[in-house]
Amino acid sequence: MVNRRQPVSNCINSQFRNAAEWCALSDVDLKAVEAVAICREYDVGDVIFNENDPCRGVYFVTSGLVGIRKAGLEGDSTLLKIAYPNETLGYRPLLAGQCHRATAEILKPGLICFINSATVLPMIEHNPALGLNFLQRATRELGDAEERFHKTVTLTLRARFAHLLMLLKDRCGHSSDNGKFILELPVSRGDLAAMLGVRRESVSRVIHELEQEGVTHFTDRHVEVANADHLIDEFRA
């Protein structure tokens, strides 16, 4: 971790006002957050918090990407999700009075702001709109989890893999001049497999099939997709 604190006003003011949960902050509350927030730069592989650490506040992703991992029984870990800029980490264990239930690891260098529980909890208690925003966020995440489970039991691996690539495209991809879209995967193939609940070998077979058909071309984490509609057809058929 880069041991350097960034000017808080540059991080909090510009993004908190537009963040889904924090947009409910009043000017007074925003100044209170600015006064206590600790914003630091992190490098790839740095850990923001570990599973079972006491939850002492929340973390706001100002820039970069964060992987949320759950430890396995054999010392391995499973990537559960990727957190993007403007997302808040740690709010559920904070509100539940629990320790962190997963580990947050930096996937792409970025700036993360920590706001302690002594600041956040009274704000939620006295600002119903802020509390409702976090409740709505938790409800959406629960719905997303149910949707992922539904896809796992009803869609083929190929369809689920195509859907995952399209989700990553919106965050980590861009269109090229020749009509293709380019995707820089933020995680390894092993992590992609974990997110889909399968073995890495299974994902490799799907990648081989898509390449043989000319739908995609993989070079390490660099992916070229000839036509996005072909991927969409995989999970909408």
pLDDT per position as a tens digit, 19-53: 889 989 888 888 888 889 999 999 999 999 999 99
> How high does pLDDT run on average in the chain?
88
CATH number of 156-236: 1.10.10.10
Radius of gyration of the chain (CA): 19
8-151 to CATH, choices 3.30.200.20, 2.60.120.10, 3.40.50.300, 3.40.50.720: 2.60.120.10
pLDDT per position as a tens digit, 86-116: 999 999 999 999 999 999 999 999 999 999 9
Least confident of 92-101, 112-121, 143-152: 143-152
pLDDT at residue 128 tops 60: yes
**Predicted structure pTM score:** 0.85
The residue ranking higher by pLDDT, 103 or 13, is: 103
27 conformational bin, left if phi > 0, alpha if psi -120 to 50, beta if neither: alpha
Residue 42 sits at φ, ψ, to 5 deg, of: -125, 150
Q: How much of the chain is in helix, strand and coil states, percent to nearest 5?
A: 45, 25, 30
User: Where along the chain do its domains lie?
Assistant: 8-151, 156-236
- What is the per-residue DSSP string for 38-67? EEEEE-TT-EEE-TT----EEEEE-SSEEE
What gap in Å lies between CA 55 and CA 174, rounded to an integer? Answer: 36
